[in-house]
Amino acid sequence: MTRTDGRAAPTTLPEGVVSLADHERHSAKWLDAAVQAYFNGGAADEITLRANIAAWQRIELLPRVMRRLEGGHTRVELLGRTLVHPMLVAPMAYQQLAHPQGEQATALAAATLGAGLVLSTQATTLLEDVARLVLPEPLRGPLWFQLYLLPDRDFMRELIHRVEAAGFEALVLTVDAPVQGARDRERRAGFRRAGEFSAVNLAGRRAPKPLPLQPGQSALFDDLLTHAPTWDDLGWLRSITHLPILLKGVVHPDDGREAVAHGAAGLIVSNHGGRTLDTMPATAALLPPMVQAVQGAVPVLVDGGIRRGTDVLKAVALGASAVLVGRPVLHGLANAGAVGVAHVLRLLRDELEIAMALSGCRTLADAPGALAPDGR
C-alpha cells in the first residue's frame, strides 16, 4: 500500500507519540504543505481556530477527594442508545489525502474503540462500504451521515434512501457553511485537491446552472446563496426520511430554539473548526448558552478544539451530551492508518477516565461538580 507520492503508507505508530499534540507534529512528515494547510488551517487570521483550543484550556477543574469510585464508567445515553464513552469522530472530507485507506481506516478504528462516526458527504469512500465495516462491531458508537443541502432534490432523495438502506442511524445537516470561509493559509499553500480523490457519494448530482447576473449584482448573493438552506428546507428534509436529523453549526441560542421548534433531533455547537467565519467565539463559550436555551428538549453536542480527556470532561460538565473530534483523527490517520486513529481515540478515552478519577467523578453525571467556581 503506497501513497500518491510513492512512499509506503505507514501502519505503525511513530516512537514518542503519547499525546494528540505529538500526533499533529509527526503527521507533518506524511502530509505535504498544501494538504497540511487544508487539514489544519482556518479562516482568515485563524483567531477562532486558536480560540477553540485555548478556551478549553482556560476552564479549570476543582477536584473532590475521598470519594468512592469503584464501578465508575464513561457511559452516556444519546438518542436512545447507550455509548461506552461520549466521543464521536467528526465529519471530515477527503480522508484519502491523509492515508490511502482513508475513511475505511477511520471507520474500523472508531467502531473498535466504541466511538461514534459521522461520515462526511465528501467522503472518498462509498457510504455502503463504511457501513459494512462499522455495523458488525458490537460495542460501536452511533453511525451518522453528514449532509450539505444540495439544490438537486431528486439526487438528495436518492442519497438519503441509500443512507437509510445502508443502516445509518441519523443525519447531520451542516447549516453554517452556505459558502466557504476565506482560508488564507490554504490559498497561500496553493492547495488543490488531487483528481484521483473525489467525493464518491456525490457522483451523478446535477450542479445548478449559474444565474444570469445584471450589472452590479453579486455572484455570491444573487446566484450561489439562492440555494442556501432555510428552515423550510429542514421541513422538506424531515418529510423524506424517517431518520432523526441533527443540525451542525447552530451557535445562537435563538437558532437553537428555532431548531427545536422545527423538529431537529439534536444540535451540534460548532464553528466549523474555525474554517468559516473568523472571530466567532470558541465553542466552549458557545456551549452553555445553547444548553440553557434548549432546556433539555434535545441533546446538545459540541466540537472544536478537543485535544485532551480533560476537555471532554469539561464539555460534559458544561452540558454536552457528547463531543466530536476532528483534526486529531486526521493526524492519527496520517501517522499510522487505522492504528493511528485508534491510538488517538484511546488516548482521549484513557485521559477522560484519569481526569474523572482525579476529579472525584465516578460517572459523567458527576462532571458538573468538577468545574471550579468561575473557572471559565
| Long-range contact pairs involving 147-151 (C-beta distance under 8 Å, separation at least 24) | 147/121, 147/171, 147/172, 147/173, 147/174, 147/237, 148/121, 148/173, 148/174, 148/177, 149/173, 149/229, 149/233, 149/237, 150/202, 150/205, 151/208, 151/227
Which of 23, 99, 272, 343 is labelled catalytic? 272
CA nearest neighbour of 268 among 235, 310, 315: 315
Q: What are phi and psi of 263, to 5 degrees?
A: 90, 15
Report yes or no: 263 and 246 within 8 Å, Cβ to Cβ.
no
227 is known as an active-site residue: no
Taking CA 302 as the corner, what is the angle to CA 299 and CA 307, rounded to the nearest 5 degrees? 140
Return the amino acid letter for 92: M
Q: Which residues are catalytic?
A: 272
